[in-house]
């Protein structure tokens, strides 16, 4: 059994839908006070309405690729929740672009949101996370980039692998402030209709919840693959029989 995280102040970026929404739901269900972010106000309102049934939730709009937006998200959390105990830096995009046709805009958009957005989100929340005395940063990376490749997603893979390079040094720099920095690496997850995917799916989101507990305070700079064994077989032959 883990120490309850009820009442903890949790910020989840990119939680208007998809995996971030699932993470927010798991934290709200555990009694945390959750601030979700994204850019789509209608989706944010709908998500908050869903989450509020299982706990305290609110939203603030913001683009994680913009430093001033990240500052506003952190300030809103400080004002509304009284601080930040946990940051789930989850916002990300994955538009496909074959390498031979990739434009500057394609590269900047993906790296700007996924990598720069991760760094800016963490930076903005640092003072509040340090003040909590047990700050937790949980990044949503991916198997794509750190472990696997897929045609059309070389820029995306670079951004997701880049998050892990960031977290290893950030974890060392922030250890003295009592902040841990870890990542979950989801496999392919169909994010439409989360509610229909059932308890097994939500259990995957619980990896982020575990990393936020007091008991995970000795774990930092690490990654947890949450893919149902997707990348485990070393070849198709491993699946025979």
| Binding stretches for ligand NAP (CB under 6 A) | 13-20, 38-40, 43, 63-65, 90-94, 113, 117, 140, 142, 186, 188-189, 191
Shortest distance in whole angstroms from residue 190 CB to ligand NAP: 7
Q: Which positions are annotated as active-site residues?
A: 156
Four-residue CA torsion sign, 107, 11, 122, 81: positive
Tell me how crowded residue 73 is: count the other CB atoms within 10 A of its CB. 25
> Is 81 or 185 the residue whose CB approaches ligand NAP more closely?
185
Shortest distance in whole angstroms from residue 40 CB to ligand NAP: 3
> Is 130 or 231 the residue whose CB approaches ligand NAP more closely?
231
Which residues fall within 8 angstroms of residue 191, CB to CB, at 6 or more apart? 17, 18, 19, 22
Shortest distance in whole angstroms from residue 192 CB to ligand NAP: 8
DSSP state of 213: S
Cα distances (angstroms) measured from residue 64 to each of 78, 92, 152, 160, 164: 17, 9, 23, 15, 18
> Is 64 or 211 the residue whose CB approaches ligand NAP more closely?
64
Shortest distance in whole angstroms from residue 146 CB to ligand NAP: 10
> Is 50 or 63 the residue whose CB approaches ligand NAP more closely?
63
Q: Which residues of 139-167 are buried (b: 16+ CB within 10 A; e: fewer)?
A: bbbbbbbbbbeeebbbbbbbbbbbbbebb
């Amino acid at each position: 059994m883990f120490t309850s995280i009820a009442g903890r102040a949790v910020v989840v970026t990119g939680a208007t839908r998809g995996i971030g929404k699932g993470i927010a739901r798991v934290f709200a269900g555990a009694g945390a006070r959750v601030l979700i972010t994204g850019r789509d106000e209608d989706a944010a309102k709908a998500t908050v309405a869903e989450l509020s049934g299982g706990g305290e939730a609110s939203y603030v709009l913001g683009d994680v690729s913009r430093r001033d937006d990240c500052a506003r998200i952190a300030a809103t959390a400080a004002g509304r929740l009284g601080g930040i105990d946990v940051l789930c830096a989850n916002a990300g995009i994955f538009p496909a672009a074959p390498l031979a046709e990739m434009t500057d805009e394609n590269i900047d958009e993906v790296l700007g949101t996924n990598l720069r957005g991760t760094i800016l989100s963490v930076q903005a929340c640092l003072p509040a996370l340090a003040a909590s005395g047990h700050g937790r940063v949980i990044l949503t990376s991916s198997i794509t980039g750190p472990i696997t490749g897929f045609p059309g997603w070389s820029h995306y893979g670079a951004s997701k692998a880049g998050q892990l390079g960031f977290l290893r040094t950030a974890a060392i720099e922030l250890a003295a402030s009592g902040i841990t920095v870890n990542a979950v690496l989801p496999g392919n997850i169909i994010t439409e209709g989360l509610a229909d995917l059932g308890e097994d799916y939500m259990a995957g989101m619980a990896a982020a919840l575990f990393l936020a507990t007091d008991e995970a305070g000795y774990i930092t700079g690490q990654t947890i693959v949450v893919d149902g064994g997707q990348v485990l077989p070393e070849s198709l032959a491993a699946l025979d029989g």
